[in-house]
Each structure stands twice: as structure tokens, then as C-alpha cells.
A and B are shown apart, each in its own frame.
Chain A
């Protein structure tokens, strides 16, 4: 019986009486339906039966159907199941083991496998992991934004006019342009933005191999996107340092300080809620009452960017009331190291004797009443009883100087940060600051949740340096559940072998022969200190190697962002010199890498596994200044992203479930498992995987170069490279249809995955990391991974007394680089955040979203339906009211550098004076495409450009200039 449906809440009318529209008339409508009079008449009987619808006497009032249930049973069926995960950069959440279900070759859904181990019986196991994004990838992969065929731009860039072309046509055109460009203008005019999705090893390997063959500029985007962890980089010497999620069970105090793990660590958050039941106290410190704070015991609202004042006040209390852990800081930190009061420089051996080392430093040994060299090979104090306080005289080659331990300088500077003073800056009441300090003092094991948030503040380094100081002073370091964690990072170390396949490394080999020849490498692993030596090798050679180029400098100087970000002095009250002076000095002195040189115009840009127009703050400048310089813009994309919309060619790349790949770079100690994702279905549309694309493009280059007789080019190091062998070289060991071998290679060649890892991963979906291995990127964790034990970082320092990778070989709080001294940042002392973008009353903060990993799910209908369909700015009730803005109103958000157009969501959880735009929205989700990128001034901070200091040199992903946005000032008006 088909019934015509009139209105949603109307009973089907079948042409009957019109009054049957109100629910209250439903009773009378009973008479219209067959059998209904029976039902109504037996109301009493019905009541009786309903007491127990399936009574023991068998009086079933509504019989179960005979056949109908198979309607639902058949929904939960499938043809095949594969193990899979999602090759996305979900970093702290990474990756989750799924079963991928297919029917007739198409993926119909996925579900977590739930087969992670329990480390030991004391702690919860890791199951099931997963999140709403991974659990709906099967929908995203077939949804509207997906690109099925190569697209060639027609009309203007950004216009949205496309022609579908064949792979052959696209690759031929691109290959031809590459040959012409390199031939005419040089190899460094071709630039690739790897993006953050190179955590998918297929993408990483293919990108690096391909562009290495072309001697292109490969951008290093980690600092630019704001994951630089500068504070950790300059204090611990390394940024990687995190505990496993189940190690939190050993913490009795956890600070969710600055992060929002309820949004960004969905699969692991349960460890915190479980720890809470286990007696752990959770403290959430953030400007707004975010989704993590509701699970805390204490929520401490703090003014954005003032956490360093709060941390300094805690340290003030610890020092003034002598609550600090004396022995720990004497052994592990540079706080007892001697500083000259005449020039504020650390006392060095080069001060005391001719040709002395500038890297040997001193402590005052109270046992012998003399300055004593601090041992570089061990943290063991031996017979040294270092002074933390006092004033001493030392005979240098230039006469007697007065020295004091760093601790004295710290005391002096912290004097300004009594709880009462700090309270005025950070907005936390003095008694509450005191309470936090005492919680840290009394906790057996205190830790924080890792976050990339602070790296996105201008003074992000000071914010974290001061937090580390508070944790170390209160004794929390390198024990079960104890210590301040920074970036979570643990990679399969087989990846280091990539260097053997790179042309640039072969070229550099000749360059380095004298210093780093064969004997260097053979002797390296024999020394006890080999990790330090290896790390130092990378620090000392990274700039010269030019293997990767800092993208912040590239976008700023070639892309015109400097017009916005170079106005730092307008907004930072402490800056005395113009930022351009610092930039000139850093480039002249070769402290940081910029390619191509300033006088060379970039001409080709590839977006390989990222979305720079979405990601880069002030990207509208790139469209204005960089794009006109480019003859060719190519985007490899699964979907039409912001960057793809502005490209000349969009090449459809396949996604998860369509290829076998393994993850790197987003793998970590937090969930210490390495996953594969396996090919469960054919490529969607005509998409191809990254390796196949790279190989086919290389083939075209090889063929065309022979046709046109442009067979070679000269690299930047003046070596002859061959276009006409590019495909052969690229595919010497792995062909374009053998992508799986790439993942197998890194797994087989890794020493930290255990035996037979590849087969185990294929069977189970993952293996557990067995150790830190040989990749320097992992060394910061400085711990063993023992079976049956949770992972607690930094135990090599606290238990084995291994030195830190800093100048002092200790946790370094005092940095006497000239720029640090000039900016008065030698110690981690709070500085007020700049008013980035101008003097406007509202601070625009941000964070990673619950609803997307970067931009990948931002345009997904399933996700958007569970939000508001469009981006929104979160605003406090009082600020909205003051401006006459109601919930969901359209507004204009502006400052001195630009404006965005967005709707508003009014929330009682936002701090007055703060507004929040969560990240990842595509440009085209904003009216007139005026996205939040337009107001993000991202002032350049010179402190991130330093070099020529033993450990303050850039390496891959670390200690390079970055972008920032969380000090942005705006005003909001109804639009």
C-alpha cells in the first residue's frame, strides 16, 4: 500500500479527512486503520500483556516476524576483508588497525579490529582506537570532492574551469615543462612542497627520490606549519620525547596544558579518563573550557600566550621556598654552570687558556672550591658538588672575572614573577598558582599531554622552556609517568637507508670525504657516544647539504609573505631591529637555508602530499606574489583542495585502501605501533599511487629528453645529471607497479621492529616498535622499549646518566647566543605576546579540529552535517553581545593585514577576549574565499633563525624559522 505523504508530521491521508494533521487527533485516526479497533477495544488486555510482552505463558502480543529479520542480517555481510589503516597525518592519534570490508570489489565500511595488546596487567590495553573519521573513510573515498581523472585548468587560475585529460597528455605536458625549465633556468627553479601527508611512506619515498633526481628544491615544512617545538629543541636539544599512552597510568598528576587531546588524541584519550578513575589528578590549563577540560579535576583559565608567566611564577615559588629538587637539577641541568657577570656569557675553556675549547663549560665545585670542567661524556657528578648559588672569582687569560651559576641569574630574573605579579599577566589567581606549584611538588610523577599548540605562538619557545623549567625544578623527569613531554615521534629506522639512493648524497659524499669519510662511519658505532656523534653530524652538515629548504623562508622571500610577516617590529614591543636585518644576517652567515637564491625566480611548484594554500598563513600573498612567477603549478590530490583549485594540473592520487603502504613520521611512542594499510580495492576512478605517478613522469622526461636532445642538466653542485636515464635510475630496484616493495623495504631494513616484521604486519595489521633504533630523529626519546613495560622517555639521562644533545650536554636553560642576549631571552623568562596584526581587542586562537585531519575531512558531507555545514568563529557570550552579534550571524573579522568572512558560534566556554577558529577549513568554504589565512600575520621571530652555535643549528624539521598564529589580534563586526 503506497500512501501519499503530505507533511512530515501528518498521518498519511489517503484522501481522508483534513483534520488528520495534528498528533492530538491521532486517537481518532485509529478508526481508519485495519485491525485498529481490535487494538483499541482491547486496551485493558493490551495493558495486561504489556506488563510482560513475552510472558512465560507465551502470550506474545506482537509476534516476531518469520522472514523480516534477514532484511537486517543481509546488511551486515561482506565478500572480503582486508587489514587497513588511513595514511593520513593524524599524528598523535595515529594509526588505527581496521578491517576493511568490501562487497563486489567496493569498500562498504570499516571497523576497528581491536587486536592491540595489553602491555601488562596493570594498565589498560590500547583497544579499539579509531575515530569517526577513520570509521567513515569508506564514504569519503567515494564522495563528491574526489577527483577521478587528471584535470587541466582552463580559464584563469582559481576560476574553477577544468578539462578532464588523459594521464598521457598531462604527464607529457608536465615533463616537457620540467625539461625546459631546468634547461633554461636551472634545477633550483623547480620546487616541491611535500606537505604533511608524506607520513604515508609511498608519498615520502616517491617525492624524495623523484625530486632528488631533478635536483629540485624540497621544502621542509615542519617548522612552517608550526610543529617545530622550538622550546624543546633549544632546551632538551631534541624535540622528540613522549611516553606511551599507557604510561600515563603511572602519573598521579597530568597537566593538559595547552593541548586538546579530546579533539586530537581521540583513540588514546581513554587512558586519561581511566587514569582519573585510578586516582590520577587531571589539570586542564587553557584559555577556553575546551572538550578536554570537562574531563579534568581542575580547569584553570589562562590568558592566551601568558602560560610562561604562570610557569615562571611556579618556578618562583619552587626557588624561593627551596622546594626544588637540588640533586636532580645539579646533575641534569645547566643551572649550576658558571656565567660571567661582565658579558653574560657562559665561562668557557677558551676563557681560561689559549686555544681552549669554546664547548667546554664549568661548574663551581664546592668540594675543592674551584671551577671544574663539566664532564661531556656523562652526567655523573662524581666528586663534584656544584654550587647553585654564590659569586666566585675565576682567573681568565684576560684577568679575574666574577662568575655566578646560571641559577643565580634565574633567581634574579624570576624575582619579577611572584604569583601576585604573574597573576596580573596570566589571569590566574595567586592562590591558584600556589596550588599548582604545590601539586607539582607533592606529585610522585607529574607529566603533561603532548601538544603542538605552543609552537604556534610567537614566543612558543619561551612558553615551553618555562614549562620545562617548572617541571624539572619540581623533580619530574625521566621516570615512569614523570616528565614534560614534547613531540611524539618514533620512526622505523630503515628509512635512513634512503640516503643510499639519493643523487644529492652521492654528490655530497665527495664534498665531505675529508671530514666524514669511510673511517668516520666505520668508527662511529664503536664509540659509546655514537648517537651524539651522529646527531652532531646532522647538525653540522644540514645547512651545507641543502637537502631540504626551510619553507617559511621560501614562502616569505619568494612568495611575498614578508610583506605581512616582516612587520614584526610593529607588533612585538621587545624587538629593537627590523626583521629584515636578522634575515640578511642569517642568510649571509649561512645559518639557515634558502633555495633558490634570492636572485633566482622559482618557476615550477609541485604540491605533492599537502595543501599549501590552505596551510600557509597569509597564503593570499602566495597567490599574489608567487603564483605569477610560476609557469607551472601541479597538485597531486585526492580531492579538490584549496591548492588544487589554484593549480594548472591536478593529478588524482589514490588513497587509503587502494594501495599498500606503511607510515612514517606520524608514528610515535604514544601508540608505539607501526601499521600497514593494504590494498583492498581498485583505485577509485583513474587515480594512481604516488610512486606510479613519479615513475610515469620520469619515463616521460626520459623519452622527451631524448626526442628533444636535451639529455642532461647541471646540478647546483655543478655535476652532470641525466634526464635521459631518469626513469631507469628511479626504477632500478622497484618498478612503477611494485609500490608495495617500497613499504616492505623500509620495514625489512629497520632494526627497531623486531623479527619478521613485514609478515607479522600483513597478518595482524601492525607490529610494536622494539626500540629507538638508529634513526637520529628518534634519539630524543632516549629510552629503551622493553616488552611488558610502558614507555617512559629520558631514562637514558636519568638512569644511565647519558648527556643531552646541547652545548652544555645538560638540559639547557641558559643560552648565550648573541641574539638570545640581544633579545634578553637567554633564560626562559616570560615575554608578553605580540599584538600580531595590530592593536585589536580580541585574540584569535586555534587548534586542530575534532572533525578533520587537516583539511581532508573538512569538505566531507558526513562530517559537515554533524557541525554547521560551514566554518564558524567561536566567540564568548559577552563579546558577542557587546557587538550585537547573535549565534550563527555572518561577520567580518579583520585586523591590519586582512579580513575573513565567517559565521559565529556563541559559546559560554570561550574566554572573554578570545575568539577561536579551529583549523583546516578550505579557502573556498568562506564567503568570497576570504579565509582565516587572511588575518594571520604570522610575524617572523628572529630567535628561530639562529645558527653557528654548537647545537642551535637547523636540521630536518627542527630549529628553522616557523610560522605562528595564536597571538593574532582581530576585531569582529556583524556583516
Chain B
């Protein structure tokens, strides 16, 4: 594995994203922006190419972290194919019964059918731990446009390809016949099935926008300004600096082996409280073990670096990057507006 890693060349033009978990406020604007642009047609109702989960939590699909997939010792792993229930169905509602059928107060607005047991954001704002030292944060997830995509490897029909110009991984809808082996192989479970068109689909990194140097919708529309975006090898870009210079942006579950191109700045939550109500400045609220589960063993060190830079009185390049006073700097060279002014 290590040998492969060293031989592995990142593509010349590979787009990558850094999501700052200190800035994500779980508003799901990214989720909705993606939905309104790409997945608002019949057969796509349950799809959330982007979703934000509250963690610790079972996530979307439910229990995805244990569903398998990815690479192990150079071999492709086939994991579970998540069901629509596990993703969370797109509930329809009994509007007519409530509004127009003369049911007075006997009907109330709710999802049709049996009470759902899960939804794509069912455990929002829950997390783990015990009050007042409970902890949670938000984890936005999209397709990672991996450099070693398990989905691509798994497709028996070669219907998944990686674009040369930007490394975006796309399902070719003309070739896909719906075997769903990609669902099984993707360890992040970010592939969906279009029930109207009988094909698999997933995040396409908004490549039509990239072609116009416009950042993906989830990046550009995020009000939290939580996402940095650019070419992974652009030494002047924020992504490169955060991933390679400062090394504070970490991949999610690197052990899956797919070499994801989405990275995360780990979160720092408030100080814990002692049983007597005094503040413990030193004990981390999020157990380090949990963060290591997500981001690997380097996460503790990353938190230290960020803390140190934040305490500096003088200029810190890292803080300047994470603050990004100019919003456009976060997505260069994809900072062009979709519509030119004037």
C-alpha cells in the first residue's frame, strides 16, 4: 500500500476541497444548493449528493462507516449497497387531507405511510456525551473525487471515468446499466441510484461550472464560508497551503484507501466543565480517539498547530488562510461569478 502511495502521482489538474469544521454551522445550504441544481428531477428525490451530518452520529446512509468498501492491501473491497431506507426516503406529505378534505382537526400534517424510522438528517444536533459535556459538530460530505476511486475500479462496464482536465469522477449515464457495484465499492457511500433513469449518479463536482471557472455550488453558496476549493497542486492556492504546507487539512477515513480529495480542518469545541461547574481549560471536549477515528492519528497535532497560531499576536499565515477576508480567495481560480455583472 505504501509503495503504491509513493508511486501514485496525483493528476496534474486535480480539484480538491478543504472543509473547515470550525466554520460549518450545519445549515445545509450546501445540501439544498446542490439539490436545487442537480437532483430535483423525478427519480432523484432521495438523493443528497451533498449532505451534512451531525457527528458523532450514524450518518447518511445510516451506519455508513461500517458498510465496507474501499481498498484493503491493494484489493478492492465490496461492501454493502445501502437501501433507500438507510439513506432516508424522501417523504411525501398528506397536504390534501389536511387542507382540503374537510377533516377539521382529525388529520395533521405528516409523512405519508408509516412513521419513518430514519431520515437523511434524523439525528441532527444530537451528538454524544453527557450534559454539560456533550459534544457534536457538523460533517459535510460529498463525493471525494478520489485519486484511487473504488467506484471506478468496481464498475464492470467502465461506466465511471475520471476527467483529465480536473480529476472529477463522473458516472457516464449512457454506459451505466445499474449494476450498483459502485455503491458496494464506495466506502463513503456517496453513490445514489436514479429510479427513473435506472442509473447510478453522484456528485459531479459541478464540472459544467468548473469549465467556466465557477466554483461548485456547495462551495460558492455556503454562507459559513467553510469551503476552500482549487487545484490540489496549485502552490499559490489555499487548498495546497492547507493540505501540504500547513498540513492542517486531513482526509476523512484515510484507511479506506481511496485517496480522497476532500479534506477537513478538525473542530475545536468549547472547554469542558468539571463536576463542580468550573472550567477545565485543558481537557478536550471531543475525545481525541473519536477524531482520530475520523481523521487519523495526526489530528491531535493539527489542533495544537491551530491553537498556537490563533494565540499569536502577530501575523499568522494560517489564520489569514482560515479567515479568508476576501471570500473570492477561497476558490481561486474558480472564483468567476456564474453571471457577469452589468
Contacts and interface: CB of A to CB of B under 8 A. Distances in A.
Interface of A: 1-3, 5, 8-9, 11-12, 23-24, 26-27, 29-30, 33, 35-36, 39-40, 46-47, 50-54, 60-65, 67-69, 71-73, 75-76, 81, 99, 109-115, 118, 121-125, 127-132, 135-136, 138-139, 144-145, 155-156, 158-162, 262, 266-267, 269-270, 273-274, 276-279, 284, 289, 291, 293-299, 301, 423, 427-429, 431-432, 435, 640, 645, 763-764, 850, 859, 861-862, 864-870, 876-877, 888, 905-912, 922, 924-929
B162 A53 contact: yes
A279 B310 contact: yes
B198 A111 contact: no
Q: How large is the interface on B (under 10, 10 to 19, 20 to 34, 35 or more residues)?
A: 35 or more
Given A76-B208, A135-B32, A908 B130 contact: yes
A35 B107 CA distance: 54
B253 interface: no
B224 A113 contact: no
B256 interface: no
B103 interface: yes
B228 to A, nearest CB: 13
Lowest 7 A-B CB distances belong to which pairs? A429-B277, A908-B134, A127-B327, A929-B105, A62-B161, A299-B270, A161-B102
Q: Which among A8, A158, A269 has the greatest number of chain B C-beta atoms within 10 A?
A: A8
B178 A3 contact: yes
Nearest to A46: B153
Contacts of A46: 153
B279 A64 contact: no
Given A63-B161, A155-B102, A428 B337 contact: no
Contacts of B131: 289, 301, 876-877, 908-912
Contacts of A928: 105-106, 108
Contacts of B238: none
B181 A26 contact: yes
Interface stretch (B114-122, B239-247, B287-295, B297-305): B114-122
Given A65-B175, A909-B127, A298 B271 contact: yes
Nearest to B164: A54
A71 B155 CA distance: 20
Given A158-B104, A162-B100, A908-B126, A869 B325 contact: no
Contacts of B161: 60, 62-65
Contact of A128 (B152, B223, B278): B223
Interface in B255-286: 267, 269-271, 273, 276-279
Contacts of B270: 284, 293-294, 296-299
Contacts of A867: 119, 121, 124
Contacts of A432: 277-279
Contacts of A297: 270-271
A373 B172 CA distance: 84
Main secondary structure of the interface of B (DSSP, over half): loop
Contacts of A295: 22, 25
Contact of A907 (B26, B126, B149): B126
30 contacts: A9-B80, A33-B177, A35-B158, A47-B74, A61-B152, A113-B339, A114-B337, A115-B341, A124-B327, A131-B27, A132-B31, A136-B32, A160-B101, A269-B224, A270-B223, A277-B322, A294-B270, A299-B132, A640-B99, A861-B90, A865-B88, A866-B28, A866-B120, A868-B122, A877-B130, A888-B115, A888-B117, A909-B126, A925-B108, A925-B109
Contacts of B109: 859, 870, 922, 924-925
Contact of A69 (B84, B101, B207): B207
A39 B35 CA distance: 34
B220 interface: yes
Given A73-B208, A866-B120, A109 B37 contact: yes
Given A81-B339, A870-B108, A909-B125, 16 more contacts: A9-B82, A23-B79, A23-B80, A50-B153, A60-B161, A65-B172, A110-B36, A113-B339, A115-B337, A125-B325, A135-B33, A160-B102, A262-B25, A296-B270, A909-B127, A909-B134
Contacts of A40: 156
A623 to B, nearest CB: 11
Interface in B156-201: 156-164, 170, 172-175, 177-181, 184, 193, 195, 198
A69 B95 CA distance: 38
A352 B341 CA distance: 68
Contact of B158 (A63, A113, A159): A63
A270 B224 contact: yes
Contacts of B101: 160
A163 to B, nearest CB: 11
A23 B207 CA distance: 31
Contact of B220 (A81, A111, A124, A924): A111
A951 to B, nearest CB: 39
A50 B148 contact: yes
Q: Which among B130, B155, B269 has the greatest number of chain A C-beta atoms within 10 A?
A: B269
